[in-house]
Amino acid sequence: MSVMAQSLIPETQRSSDALTMDRPKLERELERLHAECWGWALACSGHDRTLAEDALHTAYLRVLSGQARFDGRSRFKSWLFGVIRLTAMEELRRANRWNTTGSELDLSSAVDSSAGADVISEQAERNAVLVAAMASLSPRQREVLQLVFYHGMTLEEAARVMGVSVGSARTHYDRGKKALAGQINEVDVR
Amino acid sequence: MNDFESELKKRFAELRADDETSAPSFAVVRDRATVDQSIGTRRQRPWMIPLLTAAAAVVAAVWVTSQARGERARREAWLRDSSMNAFRWTMPTDGLLESARQTLHTPAISASVLDAAAVPIPGTPFKGD
């Protein structure tokens, strides 16, 4: 949606030589970043696959239809992640699940109580622990850690995606990292 | 970078690899978006809704008016042609009164009523002649 694109970068700050991308080029870029976009959509949707697919699909639709326009003021990936993030938030709000994505994921259930716990590979178990630990963080902390550690972004890029200042992103990063360490150590000790 | 950050990076890399294996293909998501785009394009005409509503209202008003006019015309035609029309009803003997008025005249003062009846009708033979 154009409103969304405008919220990412104010109209008054747009450069006149905005990067124009035709549809084939947009599609190539989307395809190149698709795997990362999927991971980001999952993270923004509380690792709900259905919501993540809906969010990603809607975000692609907005990009391909021109409702969200890239104007070249940031990296395409950062801009695209911003679109996906806002779209996922809308999808979550629509699904009325914004408040439940974190609280309903329980660390103990992620590790112990699943029916096939004994057959889950060690790596899958570690992933489940990480996902559950991330879900226990605040949305901002979750987002900044995901962007930095999962997607390899700098704090500046993460701040741009999240629409916050670098200082605020750094605060969320530090607090989130401590909280995540506490959550993971707690599970590892069990 | 401390040990925990290294551990986090490793764990996130594993999670990322796992997510990538389960990701839906780009073509599926793109094609779904393309289909929805065509639907969305049709939907993105907000001015169509009030326009269509106004057009429907005009059509409905014209229809109602024509129906009312037709009904009134039918009703008037029925009243005009009906033998039950009280306003147009006349007695069957009215015709007799009509012709009598043509022949009867008010008698002059001090004249006989029969004199009025005896006024000759032009063009008809009079017995007194």
Size of interface A-B (CB pairs under 8 A): 71
User: Are the beta carbons of A113 and A128 closer than 8 angstroms?
Assistant: no
Examine the pLDDT at A150 and tell me if it is beyond 50.
yes
The rounded Cα A153 to chain-centroid distance in angstroms is 12
What's the sign of the alpha-carbon dihedral A86, A92, A95, A96? negative
Out of A35, A42, A149, the one facing B8 most closely (by C-beta) is: A149
Q: How far is CA B85 from CA B77, B98, B125, in A?
A: 11, 22, 42
Token pair in block for residue A26 = 């947009």
The rounded Cα B108 to chain-centroid distance in angstroms is 65
Number of neighbours of residue A26 by Cβ within 10 angstroms: 17
**Which band of pLDDT confidence, cut at 50, 70 and 90, is reported for residue A5?**
very low
Record the pTM: 0.57
Residues of A with CB under 8 A from a CB of B: 27, 30-31, 34-35, 38-39, 42, 49, 53, 56-58, 60-61, 64-65, 123-124, 126-127, 130-131, 145-146, 149-150, 177, 180-181, 184
The torsion defined by the Cα of A63, A66, A68 and A74, in degrees rounded to 10, comes to 80
Radius of gyration of chain B (CA): 49
Q: Which of A95-104, A112-121, B33-42 has the highest mean pLDDT?
A: B33-42
Task: Tell me whether residues B4 and A57 touch, CB distance under 8 A.
Answer: no
In order along chain B (129 residues), what is the average pLDDT of each group of 10 residues?
82 88 86 62 67 92 91 81 65 69 64 63 59
Q: Which residues contact B17 (CB under 8 A, 6 or more apart)?
A: none
Predicted confidence (pLDDT) per residue in A36-73, tens digit: 999 999 888 888 888 888 889 999 988 888 888 888 88
Q: Which residues of A touch B36 (CB under 8 A)?
A: 57, 61
Average pLDDT, chain B: 75
Q: In this predicted structure, what is the pLDDT of residue A66?
A: 86
